[in-house]
Amino acid sequence: MSNQKPTPPQVSGALPVLGHVLEFRKSRETIFARGYAEHGEVFSYKLATQNVAVLGGTKNQRIFFSETDQALNMQESYRFLQAMFEDALFLAPHDEYLKQRPMVMELFKRQKMLDYLNIMQVEVQKMLDRWGASGEIEFTQEMDLLVQEVAGYCFLGAEIHEQIGREFWDSYRVLSAALDPVLPPNLPLPKFRKRDQAKAKMSAILKPMIATRRQNPDQYDDLLQHLVSYSMEHVEGSTDDSVLNLLLALMFAGHETTAGQGAWAVIQLLQNPDYLALVQAEIDAHTTAGEMFDHRAMAKLTHTAWAVRETERMRPSADILMRTVHEELDLGEYVVPKGWMAQVSADIAHNLPGVWTDADKYDPLRYAPDRAEDKQDRYSMIGFGGGMHKCTGMNFANNEMIIIITKLFQQFEVELVTQNPGIERGLGANRPDKTVLRYKRKR
């Protein structure tokens, strides 16, 4: 019987009462590395009174994703996001999520994706034009600003994006700073009060626009109108607040993760000049500086796409995914009891020795057809999640990163001033810490 099986063994280093809370806040990656070294693919740690099981290995990762919405509950484990976005997207009950999902999928249909390619190229070019002939730039912050512009113009349209201004986007930084999976999200703490104040500002900017769209549905054709019209027609009890929360969550997801991973993709190429030479050769062969390129040209940028894939493996924006255990979970050797939390770690999944060759080595050729290491198991790469909850914007993000790399190396000679940037780990997304690039425009 499953109740006779042991629970996953606990990693060393737990403190009385607090468990691993302090280490989790400071460097959670060390918990996963030590747990894997001590116990193998399945182990546990403790966040105060909350037991957390870590499910490593492709078999257990498959269980994690296939049991989501069954034995594992996604919404409860992300209650700290619900304080910001309420029942938007995967934060909603499963039945409600199924109603919202077609509305979101509409944003990433083929024709819209083709339109986004042009917008992305325009916004990347604007950034590069601002750089001038030569100089130095703090690249992490520059990427933040760029992906916000791309998300704004793609998802909101020029009119709304230019109306909302910088105050709207700066408020997202306040929301990110308030993410906390340990503390109850409504404690009277300064970071939570600032979070609520920031959301109130964003609400004051967008809700009048939403109300106007409800009253004049035939006058507009953009994302906001799509959300308003779809929710009025298909989502029972839809309100201005529910549309607002969905829009805020989409915009958060649309820029928070891409900024960090896009910056890392460029940094890793600069750290690996031999592979950068392959990328540079295909960029020169299939694109022309100063000219737009289409999806057919993008399809030929295979080395660039593999570089983006390798960055997802080595520097994933979301390094942990979480669920709450609603029904006892049998893992074979161990059992995870109801009430525990279950997690998968990209730091473990993306470095499994039986899946990845020389996992600590930057090697985008591992995705070439003759090796295809990522195709061995559909749950070997989890940088964008897995199962039915896999990120619907994954192709959007990957296209954006390919365009950033292509246009940058079309037009500039670039070198790292900050040779080995560290990882700034957040609960919204991981990113490089301050990274300075030196650039010179090509003739």
- Which token pair is 389? 């909850």
Which of 33-47, 235-249, 310-324 comes out lowest in average pLDDT? 235-249
* pTM for the model: 0.93
Structure tokens at 348: 């473990």
Q: What is the radius of gyration, based on Cα positions, of the chain?
A: 22
DSSP symbols for 390-412: S-TTHHHHHHHHHHHHHHHHHHE
Poorest-confidence range of 71-75, 78-82, 427-431?
A: 427-431
Torsions phi, psi for 335 (to 5 deg): -130, 140
The answer on pLDDT for 427 being more than 70 is: no
When divided into structural domains, the chain yields a total of: 1
- Which range of residues forms the domain containing residue 207? 2-441
The CATH number for 195's domain is 1.10.630.10
Give the pLDDT confidence score for residue 366 in this predicted structure: 98
Residue 288 pLDDT exceeds 80: yes
| Lowest mean pLDDT, pick from 24-38, 206-220, 231-245, 248-262 | 231-245
User: In the structure, what pLDDT confidence band is assigned to residue 194 with cuts at 50, 70 and 90?
Assistant: very high
CA distances from 432 to 79, 265, 419, 425 (A): 26, 10, 12, 8
pLDDT at 139 over 70: yes
pLDDT, average across residues 285-307 = 95
Residue of 144, 136, 134 lying closest to 437 (CA atoms): 136
Mean pLDDT of the 116-142 span: 95
Average pLDDT for residues 397-418, to the nearest whole number? 97
Residues 324/76, Cβ–Cβ less than 8 Å: yes
The model's confidence at residue 3, banded by pLDDT at 50, 70 and 90, is low
pLDDT at 387: 86
The residue-averaged pLDDT of 200-215 equals: 89
Arithmetic mean of pLDDT over the chain: 91
User: What integer pLDDT is reported at residue 428 of this predicted model?
Assistant: 63
Partners of 136 in beta bridges: 438
What number is the average pLDDT over the span 268-295?
Answer: 96
Distance between CA atoms of residues 419 and 438, nearest Å: 11
Between 101 and 304, residue with greater pLDDT: 304
Would the pLDDT of 1 be above 50?
no
Among the residue ranges 4-8, 220-224, 401-405, the one predicted with the least confidence is 220-224
Find out whether 341 and 327 touch, Cβ atoms under 8 Å.
no
Query: What share of the chain has pLDDT > 90, as a percent?
Result: 63
* Sheet strands (E) in 259-357: 320-325, 329-330, 335-336, 341-345
pLDDT the model gives residue 232? 78
- pLDDT digit string, tens, across residues 382-407: 999 998 888 888 999 999 999 999 99
Could you tell me which residue, 207 or 266, shows the higher pLDDT? 266
| Total residue count of the chain as it appears in this document | 443
8 Å CB contact between 405 and 396? no
Contact call for residues 435 and 138 (beta carbons, < 8 A): yes
